[in-house]
Structure 1
């Protein structure tokens, strides 16, 4: 069987596939937006064609694991393989229920490609460890760690658990756009997942020896005779880079000549039980009103839809016109944003529909962020732009409302744009996208939409990406389709 990619690879993807398709292990350390997921799916296809694997295990941050199942595999996996595929998306809160358990048992026995997508957190649970061990030992698995910097700490329980599981797989990949977020020590454990004795080749039999080789350490004296060793600089990095060349591929956006100017991604999160209860209750209430014959104008329909968006962002008004109050519990949209920011290098624009969203983001990121919306004075707006756009050491995050900042500004210091929440206005979306993608931008720009499955988010993002002006298409009759 000869493998033919479903979607045409870019030149750097084709070159790497040619180099590494027959390798058991490989570190794909490509900058975000350069196509490492597509490469990995094509590598999977090559290994299936050669009869080397019949299963895929993806460990990824929450929301990213869903994206593999709902978006990436359907997009890039050839139809002749996809039609044999059975997948299971691990839901941590539902993993023990009968339906999920039955589905996992059928997955292991499946006569075709078996795909399991699980989060790092779920992998650590007792059920997660037991099932993934069975999956790894009973199938021929292609084991992929997405955002592999999640196991950068060798002493962490997460790292130890995944390193132990890695021993059961012959074919492995790690994917990361930020492999050394805090320095060279961060690459030790992810590479060890691929090849246990890799670092022994340069005399580093353990993490202590690795730190001694690549760090310059100084004893810091404290009061009362206390002291500790601190790394004050790094050394021997040429040795590290030469060793990594044996097992890793590194690609930056600026190195890729045929990268599309705009790259779109989705990241998913699950509503909390309370958010889901409120969303369902509001939907049922609205459906009763509509079925009773209530007539909604387009304007009123949009106002109603705002309430659904607010619930997915973690708050609701107290009554029809009362102040906004937070929904008790975690805010999964905000938590997902924090994960993305941590995983993304460079400067970032975050667009928000609601001022309350901006408030929460500014509270979360503090001095890392600047604000540009209706509450900002002219002086504050000028300072925000200067700090973000013109000062390499200034603000890393530009948090704004498209109605205030969507037109006229040049913000091409950013290569990543996150839509925390979207409005229904197509013009605002298009204008806001072009704040980063404009003359002076020397790189592709990645656009990320945050989506709560089963809510208004998915339909809204799809409409905007299809360049539909949602505000002009929503009517009282069509509102049922949106909720």
Structure 2
């Protein structure tokens, strides 16, 4: 099969094959998977390598298989999964030229993977490589353990920086193991305290990273963003304010030791406020009232779908909301993708949304559907709720603003007035700015656990992100 690659994709193939190790930081929708497949195909035909091991999020394993079968049908592919015996047999004896596995499997099958790397000329490909960004995680340790055993180390990520510059530090260590190109992790963290944008590291980043944006490579339609401020009705406001006041009172009456324990679970505590702002039934199933955001959604859905052929993606953080909204909009042929949908069925759901004119709404959770799907049938995207995860937010946007989109894309965020929604939105915007800076175009924030009691009270009661938090966004590892 003769592939006709776009110019930026040819540049990507040249980068991976020439440099042998690097981070392909193409924005979502520019074809990173295709580039890696074709780069391996060319090396394989030249006899330079004989295997490619792809390590990716569990939800993307079958997407890789489908892409290889589509773009390189002469390459055999197998997924290493299932029982330990089946996984190890795949790594040790599979005749497939491409072996795909998950980060979870790679963490527990280090010995088997090292055996594969020792017996074959292997390309190590880490898809969504920011999954290995946390220096202290078992995933990161395993990837850094594999790296010295292969000559070709390809990292792929549209969002290589999701929290702080240390996200890139860890990935550079995988690309160039043992080089200490950026010094030690401790010295790097110390330096970015004075240089949050890590300008001192830019020469290294520029050497090992190839960044391309959709604006540079594609003539895509414009995208626009609008925030819709949602006023909570009296019953929902009362529930929210009561919980907020209770949290503030609790924090103010804590001892130092008690507050430390509370702060370590701050994200969970704040999620309860987010749930009340979204749909109180998530916490109080007996609640019979319709939450404000659902009322607003009803109007938006009615208006948007009044024009024939239009389709909508609705993103929600909460599984029960995905299920409730799917039932609510069943008359529009609503389908859903979330953790409860088997991985083998998700591509079928996406294909139905893309191709069936009667399926006009997709309701999804970004954790399950934020990567690996093309959803260009929709030109409208609504965020019913958002998490603190910048990677989920950025990747979800790119499901429908990518190659194949012919219409301007509108993104609507529902922000409940005077709630934690406002702080989440500000945090995501801050992270987006940091990402663009670091890449010449940035986990749920650990910085929250470092807020003082007063700063925590201000966040809960006033939805204010303190300067301490904003600094931690730029410096936290």
Q: What is the TM-score of this pair, normalised by structure 1?
A: 0.52
* Residue correspondence of structure 1 range 211-290 to structure 2 within 5 A: 211-216=189-194, 234=196, 237-258=198-219
Is residue 147 of structure 1 aligned with residue 128 of structure 2? yes
Q: Give matches, 1:124-135, under 5 Å.
A: 124-125=107-108, 128-135=109-116
Indicate the structure with greater strand content.
Answer: 1
Which residue number in structure 1 is paired with residue 353 of structure 2? 464
Secondary structure of the corresponding residue to residue 27 of structure 1: strand
Other structure's SS at 1:246 match: helix
2:238 is matched with none
Matches within 5 A, 1:63-462: 63-69=59-65, 71-77=66-72, 79=73, 81-82=74-75, 85-91=76-82, 94-96=83-85, 101-107=88-94, 110=95, 113-125=96-108, 128-200=109-181, 204-216=182-194, 234=196, 237-258=198-219, 367=274, 371=278, 376=290, 380-381=292-293, 405-409=300-304, 418=315, 428=332, 452-453=341-342, 459-462=348-351
- Cα distance between partner residues in 2 of 1:194 and 1:101: 26
Does the 8 Å contact 2:61/2:102 carry over to 1?
Answer: yes
Structure 2 portions without partners, runs of 5+: 224-268, 282-287, 306-311, 317-321, 361-477
Distance 2:130 2:328 in 1: 36
**2:65 is the counterpart of 1:41:** no
**Residue deviations 1:5-63 (CA, integer Å, cap 9, x gap):** 2xx32332123323443221110112222221111111111211221111111111221
Gap change, CA 1:102 and 1:118, over 3 Å in 2: closer
Alpha-carbon spacing, 1:170–1:19, altered in 2? closer, same or farther (3 Å): closer
Give distance in 2, aligned partners of 1:369 and 1:259. Answer: 37
What is the alpha-carbon distance in structure 1 between the residues aligned to residue 99 and residue 276 of structure 2? Answer: 37
Aligned residue among 49, 52, 64 for 2:48:
52
Distance in 1 separating the partners of 2:333 and 2:151: 45
Distance 2:119 2:92 in 1: 11
Give SS of 1:53's match. Answer: coil
CA distance in 1 between counterparts of 2:345 and 2:354 reads 14
After TM superposition, give the deviation of residue 148 of structure 1 in Å.
Answer: 1.2
When residues 207 and 54 of structure 1 are mapped into structure 2, their CA distance, relative to the original with a 3 A threshold, is same
Closer, same or farther in 2 for the Cα pair 1:51/1:450, shift >3 Å?
farther
Q: Which of 17, 24, 28 is the aligned partner of 2:20? A: 24
- Taking structure 1 as reference, are residues 375 and 74 closer, same or farther at Cα in structure 2, changes over 3 Å only? farther
**Conserved in 1, the CA contact under 8 Å of 2:166 and 2:189?**
yes
The Cα offsets for residues 139-177 of structure 1, whole Å up to 9 and x where unpaired, read as 111101111112222222321222011111110111122
Maintained 8 Å contact 2:59/2:343: no
Whether the 8 Å CA contact 1:425–1:470 is kept in 2: the answer is no
The Cα shift of 1:207 comes to 0.9
| Separation (CA, whole Å) in 1 of partners of 2:130 and 2:343 | 30
Asked if the contact 1:12–1:256 (Cα under 8 Å) also holds between the matched residues in 2, the reply is: yes
Q: Supply the distance in 2 between the matched residues of 1:454 and 1:416 (Cα, whole angstroms).
A: 19
Cα offset, 1:459, TM superposition: 4.5
Contact 1:452 1:458 in 2 (8 A): no
CA distance in 1, matches of 2:77, 2:149: 21
* Contact kept? 1:143, 1:169, Cα under 8 Å: yes
- RMSD after superposition: 4.1
Contact map agreement 1:26 1:172 (CA 8 A) in 2: yes
Change (3 A) 1:369 1:192: farther
**Between Structure 1 and Structure 2, how many residues are aligned?**
296
d(CA) in 1 for partners of 2:12 and 2:124?
A: 18
Of residues 367-376 and 60-69 in structure 1, the stretch that sits farther from structure 2 once superposed is 367-376
Distance 1:367 1:55, change over 3 A: same
State which structure, 1 or 2, has the greater radius of gyration over its C-alpha atoms.
1
Distance 2:358 2:107 in 1: 44
Using the alignment, how far apart are the partners of 2:144 and 2:160 within structure 1? 17
2:176 & 2:275 partners in 1: Cα distance? 37
2: CA distance between counterparts of 1:44 and 1:11? 18
In the superposition, the TM-score normalised over structure 2's length comes to 0.52
What's 1:358 paired with? none
Name the CA shift for 1:465/1:240 in 2 (closer, same or farther; >3 Å).
Answer: same
